[in-house]
């Protein structure tokens, strides 16, 4: 007896942009505002499957080039004191701009942290769900 069933098409899938780098001037201290630094963003988007998985057409998915541009606009735009606020604003923008996105998880890293200590970076993660 043969099995003629086929697996269902997933209802969602995940798009990830890893280690996006931007120069900006966020931070509490005057030196951070004056000098600026690089910030790194990881973006994980849970996307409604729509037709992308079966039709192989860009119109059926979230164009990650446009996602990158939206992240860049937020990170390099208005200065913020806190990376928590910045990560939240990125997530909000992505949910607003891309209707297929059901969940946006943004991790933001700040490598040049002005504290007396040795560390790679400070990092926050914010997740918003539609």
Number of CB atoms found within 10 A of residue 83's CB:
21
Active site residue 110: yes
Ramachandran area for residue 113 (φ above 0: left; ψ -120 to 50: alpha; else beta): beta
As a whole number of angstroms, the distance between CA 105 and CA 124 comes to 10
- DSSP secondary structure of 59-115: GGS--HHHHHHHHHHHHTSS--S-HHHHHHHHHHHHHHH-TTEEEEEEEEEESS--S
Q: Considering 93, 105, 109, 110, which one is annotated as catalytic?
A: 110
- Which residues are known catalytic residues? 110
């Amino acid at each position: 007896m043969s099995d003629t069933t086929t697996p269902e098409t997933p209802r969602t899938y995940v798009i990830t942009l890893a280690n996006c780098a931007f120069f900006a001037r966020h931070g509490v201290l005057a030196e951070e505002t004056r000098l600026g630094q690089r910030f790194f963003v990881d973006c994980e988007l849970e996307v409604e499957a729509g037709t992308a998985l079966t039709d192989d057409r860009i119109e059926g998915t979230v164009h990650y080039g446009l996602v990158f541009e939206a992240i860049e606009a937020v990170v390099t735009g208005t200065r913020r004191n806190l990376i928590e606020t910045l990560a939240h604003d990125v997530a909000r923008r992505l949910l607003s701009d891309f209707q297929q996105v059901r969940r946006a998880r943004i991790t933001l890293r700040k490598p040049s942290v002005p504290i007396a200590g040795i560390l790679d970076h400070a990092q926050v993660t914010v997740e918003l769900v539609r």
